[in-house]
Structure 1
Amino acid sequence: MMKSVVEYKDYRQYILDYYSERKRSSAFTWREFAKLAGFASGSYLKLVCDGKTRLREEGAKKTALAMGLLGFEYDYFILMVRYESAKTDREKKKCFEEMQALSAAHHVKILGNELYTFYETWKHSVVRELAVAMPGAKPHEIAKACRPAISAADVSASLNFLMKAGLITRDIKGNYHQTNRSLTTGRLNVVAVAVHSLLRQMGEFALEALDKLPISERHFSGITMGVTEESYKKVVDELAKCRKRIVSIVADEPHPDKVCRLNFQFFPLTENLNSGKNRGKSTSGKGE
């Protein structure tokens, strides 16, 4: 039996699972499916599931009805389509929060919900590190160690969330431990929206650090370079490898004495000069 639609976050996957379930017990075809939904092309919904096209609002409504979705399930399916089509993080966030509300009202948890909340604010990642680095510390002590400072109430709320989400545990002595030493967003599109918010916050903190901290306490550098599409991909791959090496350096550190943030930023400063054609080789960059 299929899962409830509110357990999904990808409308294409739901359509595909619905089709597979119908196909398993009958001679159901993509053409018949498209006809039920009122599409002229018999292959349209298959193309949607293959990622070669997407549903629009009216098409989403017809498809939902063709799959027998009514009430909150119909509303949830439309929200999944709107989420993918949203052009801004704010729109995506609004759609996802409405999806959360529907799933919560019907006692179903969306996969990825905890990570979404975790990455939505910088406080959870910092408190998660400090709780382990400061064994026995009270919330107000952890709060004072944060930069910028936060309230003891914020720390308590964060600790409660981290415990409930299974991101930290607490032993009989009251000391906290991380269930996983490092976290990654992987390929969760839902989480990516919250990560955008976190990156903005961390970018603002970086600017403050540039102005307020002595050089001995921060390291800023950069390179301005000319690249081709091929060399761009190679640099991105090298940054990913570098990030993994850095994680391995600090992963087993038993007694950290501070929590730091490392930002990786690689973005264009010009339009594409080649109009879609690679021309020449990447030029050597200038470091700052």
Structure 2
Amino acid sequence: MKSVTEYKEYREYVLDYYRERKRCSAFTWREFAKLAGFASGSYLKLVCDGKTRLREEGAKKTGLAMGLLGYELDYFVLLVRYESAKTEQEKKKCFEEMQALGEVNRVRILGSEMYTYYETWKHSVVRELAVAMPGAKPIEIAKVCKPAISAADVSESLRFLVKSGLLKRDIKGNYHQTNASLSTGNLNVVAVAVHSQLRQMGELALEALDKLPISERHFSGITMGMTDECYKKVVEELAECRKRIVSIVSANKSIEKVCRLNMQLFPLTENIHGRAVAPNAQNSYGPQK
């Protein structure tokens, strides 16, 4: 059975533990619950079915019942705390504690590299510039960033990107991307960092709106009435558009600058019940003049 540090959800680990014990013996949910000190024999099954959840004290008892000790027990409790966290800041704190456990105990935490990558906009920009500027020193890369960042930030980012396998360096010292594009996959922990990066990119967009001339930026938008079904279709269209844009960029073998495209669709009102609104009522604006 895999180490608990290779899991991203505590329910998945508990269920795998149960199945492994069941495979080798007549282990039951009732016996499992009794070992963990729960009065209800079906409690842990309900947890794994998603019908209830563990609390922190229950997490410790369940972890001990599964033979977890030391940092593995701490990690399991953090998985439970992460799922129960009500805010992104709480989730971020939990995952950073998981990362710290991994560093101290020299174990890999699933999603750790991608979490760090998406936590700041700098890594994605440096990853592109390092390839586009062969032989460039960190200070040269730093100066072309908007906003400008320090050479130390670039050096730190390059070390991280190489260590995490997102960049590789050849014998001449030039950098190459190991994959042309990246995906967040289905890791819940990464989503918190992605939200952080989206906020940062939104702030950079506002700066670009104020500071860059029209010839160097493109801003447009539409305010429109929609049904839920229409919303789903527009989301699908945006996903297809994004794929087509990635294909266009991937086919382009040279880079002159690094750009960011934000795609945003969000409600400006609550859902309107019991009243029909003309679906074609729109207020649009094209590229700002």
Same fold (TM over 0.5): yes
Counting matched residue pairs gives 285
Alignment partner, residue 285 of structure 1: 282
The range that moved more, 193-202 or 172-181, is 172-181
Alignment partner, residue 53 of structure 1: 52
Q: List alignment gaps of at least 5 residues for structure 2.
A: none
- The alpha-carbon deviation at position 231 of structure 1 amounts to 2.0
- The alpha-carbon deviation at position 246 of structure 1 amounts to 0.7
Alignment partner, residue 120 of structure 2: 121
Quickly say closer, same or farther: Cα 1:164–1:101, change in 2 above 3 A.
same
Q: CA–CA distance in 2 between the matches of 1:155 and 1:252?
A: 27
Q: CA–CA distance in 2 between the matches of 1:105 and 1:265?
A: 39
Matched, 1:260 2:252: no
Q: List alignment gaps of at least 5 residues for structure 1.
A: none
- The alpha-carbon deviation at position 15 of structure 1 amounts to 0.3
Quickly say closer, same or farther: Cα 1:143–1:188, change in 2 above 3 A.
same
Tell me the alpha carbon deviations over residues 40-75 of structure 1, each in whole angstroms, 9 at most, x when there is no partner: 443332232233332222332332232232332222
Alignment partner, residue 11 of structure 2: 12
AA of the residue aligned to 1:220: F
- Give me the TM-score of the superposition, normalised by structure 1: 0.92
Tell me the alpha carbon deviations over residues 103-129 of structure 1, each in whole angstroms, 9 at most, x when there is no partner: 222221012111111111111100111
AA of the residue aligned to 1:285: Q
Tell me the alpha carbon deviations over residues 156-176 of structure 1, each in whole angstroms, 9 at most, x when there is no partner: 111111111111112222221
Secondary structure, aligned partner of 1:177: strand
* Superposition RMSD in Å: 1.9
The range that moved more, 211-220 or 28-37, is 28-37
Alignment partner, residue 163 of structure 2: 164
Alignment partner, residue 229 of structure 2: 230
Report matched runs for 1:238-253 at 5 Å.
Answer: 238-253=237-252
Q: Contact conserved, 1:228 with 1:278, CA < 8 A, in 2?
A: no
Matched, 1:178 2:177: yes
Q: CA–CA distance in 1 between the matches of 2:143 and 2:111?
A: 30
- The alpha-carbon deviation at position 283 of structure 1 amounts to 4.1
Quickly say closer, same or farther: Cα 1:179–1:246, change in 2 above 3 A.
same
Q: CA–CA distance in 1 between the matches of 2:185 and 2:275?
A: 30
- The alpha-carbon deviation at position 282 of structure 1 amounts to 4.2
Quickly say closer, same or farther: Cα 1:61–1:279, change in 2 above 3 A.
farther
Matched, 1:109 2:108: yes
Secondary structure, aligned partner of 2:13: helix
Q: Percent identity?
A: 78
Alignment partner, residue 41 of structure 2: 42
Quickly say closer, same or farther: Cα 1:132–1:78, change in 2 above 3 A.
same
Matched, 1:87 2:86: yes
Alignment partner, residue 149 of structure 2: 150
Secondary structure, aligned partner of 2:100: helix
- The alpha-carbon deviation at position 285 of structure 1 amounts to 3.0
AA of the residue aligned to 1:287: S
Secondary structure, aligned partner of 2:159: helix
Q: Contact conserved, 2:114 with 2:190, CA < 8 A, in 1?
A: yes
Alignment partner, residue 21 of structure 1: 20
Tell me the alpha carbon deviations over residues 128-175 of structure 1, each in whole angstroms, 9 at most, x when there is no partner: 111111122111111111010011111111111111111111222222
Q: Contact conserved, 2:8 with 2:187, CA < 8 A, in 1?
A: no
